[in-house]
């Protein structure tokens, strides 16, 4: 049975599916437009571990989850996370961690050269920066996050 | 991702004959904390005046565990609601409106989407929009490539007479576009299977570029404008003139 | 009536809040309000593993990775002594039908304070046997 038949308005001569996905899952992956750039970015900035955490969150936390039906991974949180990641300078010696908060936000954390925590929680509308070294904690609208990071986390 | 240099027409037709549109789909992907088991009921309460009972699509027979473990299934619909002119398809993370049968025209689609947006709002399950997309699939008998202003080249010579399937992903202002061109497809048209080519264009926005209830309809309007500009911009002018273009 | 400061509590640390590759915990483990914990006086640590597996785990998306424990009195000291915003923290009993030892920390905890609590948390790994 072609399980996708009702959603496939045409078939090609090779009987490939008409969807955007890869017709034969395996070692080669096809991406939605723009996805390949995201995958490259997260791999280059957070390594295989960070990439794996992101895949885990997006695959497994898309609906209500946990004992209190916590919120699913927020698409807008992901957008802000990726746009920030593109310009963020994470020290080379740092090993970043990635978490999912109960509000469905991505949280990126690493330790500075003195072992003090640097944490950014990416929300749908606002984001939060925490710098343990300065005892600094601030929540700003997402549009102001780039300025805050430039000011507080200079390259 | 780069944009594609598409010729701009001074005037875009409002209608061509015969209408090549096989299907028009307006889709929004979303996240929700509401369990899938209650989503069809919540939506059906809102649309029952115009649409029939939810009908299971074949994917629903797979276990939730399998569906969730396979990324290909994430955004596929599991049930459909059929109305006289449109279908509404619903999955755990997607809802779409698509035309049934002959293309009813953009104003009819827009009016139906406008109605549906309010029904989705009232159903109360929509958490946050993830992707807003519009897909138009056009069908032409025969090989469309000689009639296009885009074509594959092999060693500086145009490729002709072979089966071609081509996908281009590019940016168009805020939109991500994915264009599939294929000159050897079989399509079901009015109950008859016909061979030919498709021009399958999908335009989408990411989560940060739309708010479904605030500006979703406006973003669909923009997608429709881009769709027409790309479609007509890529047809050879001589070919377009054979399609009896009408202008406002 | 709040839980006595002499008692200890346990907090489940699941895969969404624990990065196995770095061994780090998320501040969101304690940030916010109504943080769920279990009272070790009513359910000792070795039984709390089973309890948390039943109550908070939902494979594949969420698995229990560690348990963090702390004394209630120590939690209150950390809250009061937090320089940026001293906070009076309590642990309130909130028994549930299948989770008699359930309790909550009702107060809103800031990220900075959550980090201070996490620093002093005793983290336990499940015994493979």
Residue C129 located in a structural domain: no
Q: Are C27 and A97 a contacting pair at CB < 8 A?
A: no
Residue C82 located in a structural domain: yes
For residues B21 and B103, give the distance between their C-alpha atoms in angstroms, rounded to a whole number: 6
Q: Are C16 and A49 a contacting pair at CB < 8 A?
A: no
Q: Are A107 and C27 a contacting pair at CB < 8 A?
A: yes
By mean pLDDT, which of B95-99, B144-148, B190-194, C42-46 is the weakest? B190-194
Element (H, E) at B31: strand B21-31
SS3 of A26-53: the string is CCCCCCCCCHHHHHHHHHHHHHHHHHHH
Looking at the structure, do residues B67 and B17 belong to the same domain, yes or no?
Answer: no
Q: Are A76 and B208 a contacting pair at CB < 8 A?
A: yes
Please report residues of B whose CB lies closer than 8 A to that of A24: none
Looking at the structure, do residues B65 and B146 belong to the same domain, yes or no?
Answer: no
Confidence at residue B60, expressed as pLDDT on a 0 to 100 scale = 85
Looking at the structure, do residues B37 and B122 belong to the same domain, yes or no?
Answer: yes
CA–chain centroid gap for C49, Å, is 13
- Structure ipTM: 0.91
Element (H, E) at B117: helix B106-123
- How large a percentage of chain A has pLDDT more than 90? 59
Q: How sure is the predictor about A69, in pLDDT bands with cuts at 50, 70 and 90?
A: confident
Element (H, E) at C68: strand C64-71
By mean pLDDT, which of B189-203, C1-15, C77-91 is the weakest? B189-203
Given a contact cutoff of 8 angstroms between Cβ atoms, the answer to whether C118 and C31 are in contact is no
Indicate whether C106 pLDDT > 50.
yes
Over residues B108-142, the pLDDT tens digits come to: 999 999 999 999 999 999 999 999 999 999 999 99
- How large a percentage of chain B has pLDDT more than 90? 78
Looking at the structure, do residues B59 and B143 belong to the same domain, yes or no?
Answer: no
The mean pLDDT value for C36-48 works out to 97
State the CB neighbour count (10 A cutoff) for residue B5: 8
User: C14 - beta bridge partners?
Assistant: C64
Over residues B5-31, the pLDDT tens digits come to: 999 999 999 999 999 999 899 999 999
User: B186 - beta bridge partners?
Assistant: A11, B195
Indicate whether A7 pLDDT > 60.
no
User: B86 - beta bridge partners?
Assistant: B99
Of C26, C60, C62, the CB nearest to A107: C26
User: Measured between CA atoms, how close is A137 to chain C, in angstroms?
Assistant: 7
Element (H, E) at B138: strand B128-141
Sheet order of strands, C35-39 included: C92-93, C102-105, C35-39, C8-14, C64-71, C122-124
The mean pLDDT value for C35-47 works out to 97
Grouping H, G, I as helix, E, B as strand and the rest as coil, residue B24 is strand
Q: How sure is the predictor about A3, in pLDDT bands with cuts at 50, 70 and 90?
A: very low
User: Measured between CA atoms, how close is B248 to chain A, in angstroms?
Assistant: 30
Domain boundaries, position C53: 8-124
Number of domains in chain C: 1
Q: How sure is the predictor about A66, in pLDDT bands with cuts at 50, 70 and 90?
A: confident
Give the residue ranges of DSSP H helices in B184-248: 212-234, 237-241
Confidence at residue A33, expressed as pLDDT on a 0 to 100 scale = 61
State the DSSP code for A11. Answer: E
Of A95, A96, A99, the CB nearest to C28: A99
Given a contact cutoff of 8 angstroms between Cβ atoms, the answer to whether B83 and B67 are in contact is no
Confidence at residue A52, expressed as pLDDT on a 0 to 100 scale = 93
Domain boundaries, position B88: 33-126
| Residue of B169, B197, B205 to mutate, testing the A interface (most A Cβ within 10 Å of its Cβ) | B169
User: Residues B119-122: contacts with CB within 8 Å, 24+ apart?
Assistant: B119/B43, B119/B46, B119/B47, B120/B43, B120/B46, B120/B95, B120/B212, B121/B213, B122/B46
Looking at the structure, do residues B138 and B242 belong to the same domain, yes or no?
Answer: yes
For residues B213 and A38, give the distance between their C-alpha atoms in angstroms, rounded to a whole number: 27
Confidence at residue A63, expressed as pLDDT on a 0 to 100 scale = 76
Listed residue (C66, C17, C67, C11) closest to C39, CA to CA? C11
Number of domains in chain B: 2
Query: Which has more confidence, B187 or A141?
Result: A141
Confidence at residue B58, expressed as pLDDT on a 0 to 100 scale = 84
Chains in contact with A, where contact requires at least 3 CB pairs less than 8 Å apart: B, C
Last residue of a domain, one of B91, B126, B161: B126
Confidence at residue B2, expressed as pLDDT on a 0 to 100 scale = 87
Q: Are A9 and B187 a contacting pair at CB < 8 A?
A: yes
Given a contact cutoff of 8 angstroms between Cβ atoms, the answer to whether A62 and A73 are in contact is yes
The mean pLDDT value for A8-22 works out to 44
Query: Which has more confidence, A20 or C67?
Result: C67
Query: Which has more confidence, C58 or A32?
Result: C58
Looking at the structure, do residues B62 and B165 belong to the same domain, yes or no?
Answer: no
Listed residue (A95, A45, A153) closest to C24, CA to CA? A95
> Locate tokens 């957008």: which residue?
A79
Of A57, A97, A137, the CB nearest to C111: A137
> Locate tokens 């080379």: which residue?
A92
Q: How sure is the predictor about A9, in pLDDT bands with cuts at 50, 70 and 90?
A: low
Q: What residues contact B117, with CB distance under 8 A and at least 6 apart?
A: B212, B213, B216, B217
Q: How sure is the predictor about A13, in pLDDT bands with cuts at 50, 70 and 90?
A: very low
Residue C65 located in a structural domain: yes
Confidence at residue B89, expressed as pLDDT on a 0 to 100 scale = 94
Over residues A72-84, the pLDDT tens digits come to: 999 999 999 999 9
Last residue of a domain, one of B98, B126, B154: B126
| Residue of A55, A60, A65, A67 to mutate, testing the C interface (most C Cβ within 10 Å of its Cβ) | A67
> Is the sign of the CA dihedral B177, B181, B187, B190 positive or negative?
positive
For residues B133 and B212, give the distance between their C-alpha atoms in angstroms, rounded to a whole number: 11
Looking at the structure, do residues B51 and B172 belong to the same domain, yes or no?
Answer: no
Indicate whether A10 pLDDT > 80.
no
Please report residues of A whose CB lies closer than 8 A to that of B180: 18
Looking at the structure, do residues B228 and B142 belong to the same domain, yes or no?
Answer: yes
Give DSSP secondary structure letters for B157-184. Answer: EE--SS--EEEEEEEETTEEEEEEEEEE
For residues A102 and A144, give the distance between their C-alpha atoms in angstroms, rounded to a whole number: 23
Residue C57 located in a structural domain: yes
State the CB neighbour count (10 A cutoff) for residue A118: 21
Confidence at residue C104, expressed as pLDDT on a 0 to 100 scale = 97
Looking at the structure, do residues B75 and B103 belong to the same domain, yes or no?
Answer: yes
On average, the pLDDT of chain B sits at 92
The mean pLDDT value for C8-27 works out to 96
Last residue of a domain, one of B95, B126, B157: B126
Confidence at residue B69, expressed as pLDDT on a 0 to 100 scale = 73
Over residues A89-137, the pLDDT tens digits come to: 899 889 999 999 999 999 999 999 999 999 999 999 999 999 999 999 9
The mean pLDDT value for A44-62 works out to 90
Looking at the structure, do residues B171 and B243 belong to the same domain, yes or no?
Answer: yes
Confidence at residue B34, expressed as pLDDT on a 0 to 100 scale = 92
**Which residue of B lies nearest to A65 if distances are taken between CA atoms?**
B33
* Beta-sheet strands, E only, within chain A: 10-12, 97-100, 106-111, 117-122, 126-131, 136-141
Count how many pairs of residues, chain A against chain B, have C-beta atoms within 8 Å.
117
For residues B77 and B241, give the distance between their C-alpha atoms in angstroms, rounded to a whole number: 38
Q: How sure is the predictor about A8, in pLDDT bands with cuts at 50, 70 and 90?
A: low
The mean pLDDT value for B37-66 works out to 91
What would the two tokens of residue B70 be?
């396979």
Given a contact cutoff of 8 angstroms between Cβ atoms, the answer to whether A129 and A147 are in contact is no
> Locate tokens 């168009």: which residue?
B172
């Amino acid at each position: 049975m072609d399980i996708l038949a009702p959603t496939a308005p045409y078939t090609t001569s090779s009987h490939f599916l008409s969807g955007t996905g890869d017709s034969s899952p395996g070692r080669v992956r096809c991406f939605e437009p723009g996805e390949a750039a995201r995958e490259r970015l997260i791999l280059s900035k957070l390594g295989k571990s960070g990439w794996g955490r992101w895949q885990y969150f997006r695959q497994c936390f898309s609906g209500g989850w946990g004992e209190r039906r916590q919120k699913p991974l927020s698409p807008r949180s992901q957008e802000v996370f990726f746009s920030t990641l593109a310009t963020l300078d994470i020290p080379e010696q740092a090993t970043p961690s990635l978490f999912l908060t109960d509000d469905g936000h991505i949280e990126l954390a690493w330790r500075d050269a003195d072992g003090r925590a640097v944490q950014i929680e990416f929300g749908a509308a606002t984001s939060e920066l925490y710098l343990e070294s300065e005892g600094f904690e601030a929540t700003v609208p997402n549009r102001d996050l780039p300025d805050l990071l430039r000011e507080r986390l200079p390259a | 991702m780069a944009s594609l240099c598409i010729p701009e027409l001074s005037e875009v037709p409002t209608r061509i004959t015969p209408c090549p549109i096989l299907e028009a789909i307006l889709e929004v992907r979303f996240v929700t904390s509401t369990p899938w088991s209650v989503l069809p009921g919540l939506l059906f309460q809102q649309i029952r005046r115009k649409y029939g009972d939810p009908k299971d699509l074949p994917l629903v027979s797979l276990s939730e565990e399998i569906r969730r473990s396979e990324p290909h299934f994430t955004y596929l619909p599991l049930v459909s609601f059929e109305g006289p002119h449109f279908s509404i398809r619903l999955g755990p993370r997607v809802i779409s409106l698509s035309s049934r049968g002959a293309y009813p025209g953009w104003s009819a689609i827009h009016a139906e989407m406008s109605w549906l947006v309010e029904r989705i709002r009232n159903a109360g399950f929509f958490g946050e929009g993830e992707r807003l997309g519009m897909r138009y699939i056009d069908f032409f008998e025969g090989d469309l490539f000689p009639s296009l202003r885009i074509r594959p080249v092999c060693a500086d010579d145009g490729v002709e007479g072979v089966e071609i399937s081509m996908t281009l992903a590019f940016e168009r202002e805020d939109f991500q576009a994915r264009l599939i061109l294929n000159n050897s497809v079989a399509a079901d048209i009015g109950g008859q299977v016909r061979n030919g080519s498709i021009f399958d264009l999908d335009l989408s926005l990411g989560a940060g570029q739309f708010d479904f209830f605030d500006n979703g309809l406006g973003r669909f309007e923009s997608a429709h404008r881009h769709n027409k500009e790309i479609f007509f911009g890529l047809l050879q002018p001589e070919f377009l003139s054979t399609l009896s273009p009408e202008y406002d | 009536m709040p839980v006595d400061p002499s008692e200890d509590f346990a907090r489940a640390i699941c895969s969404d809040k624990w990065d196995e590759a770095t061994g780090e915990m998320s501040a969101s483990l304690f940030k916010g309000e109504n943080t769920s914990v279990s009272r070790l006086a009513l359910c000792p640590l070795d039984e709390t593993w089973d309890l948390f597996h039943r109550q908070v785990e939902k494979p594949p998306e969420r698995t229990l990775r560690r348990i963090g424990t702390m004394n209630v009195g120590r939690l209150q000291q950390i809250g009061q002594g937090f320089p940026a915003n001293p906070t009076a923290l309590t642990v309130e009993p909130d028994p549930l039908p299948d989770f008699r030892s359930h309790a909550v920390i009702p107060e809103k905890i800031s990220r900075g304070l959550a980090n201070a609590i996490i620093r002093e948390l005793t983290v336990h790994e499940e015994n493979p046997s």
